[in-house]
């Protein structure tokens, strides 16, 4: 009798945990060091701030910060494949900045982003693409072609786009760390608002 009661309690506990987990949907942000929150504490990186904004709306979503420093668009397909194992309801792909800083060909960036997005669509998972831009010192032609990739991919795939992840942050010293690339705490707050406005329509 004691064993049966214990087994019942264990079952009830596991069932309740599963029920609670089922109440929440999952938003995975696949990005690089900007998403990871390089140079700031995790609770002040934009994915954590996005979570707080969603909580104020009583939205039953959980944000998963899948930012890895140094990540490029070349890793997008494999990282999306891994993320899909978590059964997400929405994926935001925020990759490409490192490709641009390394002068990766626009064609390569485009192919990798298209491949990653196709994986999401094949899995029937909503996906959004965050655009990036480069400082002007990388050359006018490459800077222009790089920025155009994200909108072109989003249009081709028929998915929502965040036109520029660092909108109102990029190029502003007071909103970035000393390297001029990674947002500081104030910068992350603005990025969180940009992403928040974009994802609300997809929730």
Q: Does a structural domain hold residue 140?
A: yes
What was the pLDDT predicted at 115?
98
Q: Does a structural domain hold residue 120?
A: yes
Q: Pairing mode, if any, of strands 90-94 and 61-67?
A: unpaired
Q: What are the residues whose beta carbons fall under 8 Å from the beta carbon of 119, sequence distance 6 or more?
A: 77, 80, 81, 84
Question: Could you list the active site residues?
Answer: 33, 179, 182
Q: Does a structural domain hold residue 189?
A: yes
- Reply yes or no on whether the pLDDT at 16 is more than 80: no
- Reply yes or no on whether the pLDDT at 101 is more than 90: yes
The closest alpha carbon to 72, from 41, 106, 105, 100, belongs to 100
Q: Does a structural domain hold residue 16?
A: no
pTM across the whole model: 0.88
Q: Does a structural domain hold residue 19?
A: no
We report the CATH number of the domain holding residue 80 as 3.40.50.1110
Q: What end-to-end distance do the CA atoms of the chain give, in Å?
A: 47
Mean pLDDT, range 97-121, rounded to an integer: 97
- Reply yes or no on whether the pLDDT at 8 is more than 50: no
**pLDDT tens per residue across span 191-203:** 999 999 999 989 8
State the total domains in the chain. 1
Task: Look at 21 and 73; give whichever has higher pLDDT.
Answer: 73
pLDDT band at 186 (very low <50, low <70, confident <90, very high): very high
Cα separation, 67 vs 30, in Å, equals: 6
Q: How far is CA 141 from CA 90, 124, 197, in A?
A: 33, 36, 31
What was the pLDDT predicted at 193?
98
> Phi and psi at residue 81, in whole multiples of 5°?
-55, -40
Q: Does a structural domain hold residue 124?
A: yes
Q: Does a structural domain hold residue 6?
A: no
Mean pLDDT, range 35-46, rounded to an integer: 98
**pLDDT tens per residue across span 133-183:** 998 888 999 999 999 999 999 999 999 999 999 999 999 999 999 999 999
pLDDT band at 11 (very low <50, low <70, confident <90, very high): very low
Q: Does a structural domain hold residue 66?
A: yes
| Domain containing residue 61 | 24-202
- Reply yes or no on whether the pLDDT at 40 is more than 70: yes
**pLDDT tens per residue across span 48-96:** 999 999 999 988 999 999 999 999 999 999 999 999 999 999 999 999 9
């Amino acid at each position: 009798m004691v064993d049966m009661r214990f087994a019942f309690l264990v079952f009830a506990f596991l069932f309740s945990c599963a029920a609670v987990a089922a109440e929440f949907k999952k938003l995975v942000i696949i990005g690089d060091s900007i998403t990871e929150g390089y140079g700031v504490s995790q609770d002040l990186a934009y994915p954590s701030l996005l979570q707080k904004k969603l909580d104020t709306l009583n939205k039953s979503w959980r944000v998963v910060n899948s930012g890895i420093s140094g990540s490029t668009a070349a890793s997008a397909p494999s990282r999306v494949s891994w993320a899909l194992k978590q059964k997400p309801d929405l994926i935001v792909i925020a990759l490409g900045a490192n490709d641009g800083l390394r002068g990766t060909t626009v064609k390569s960036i485009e192919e990798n982003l298209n491949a990653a997005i196709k994986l999401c669509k094949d899995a029937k998972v909503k996906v959004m693409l965050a655009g990036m831009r480069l400082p002007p010192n990388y050359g006018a032609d490459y800077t222009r072609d790089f920025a155009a990739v994200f909108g072109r991919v989003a249009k081709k795939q028929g998915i929502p786009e965040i036109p520029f992840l660092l909108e109102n942050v990029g190029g502003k010293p007071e909103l970035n760390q000393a390297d001029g690339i990674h947002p500081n705490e104030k910068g992350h707050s603005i990025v969180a608002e940009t992403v928040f406005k974009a994802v609300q329509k997809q929730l």
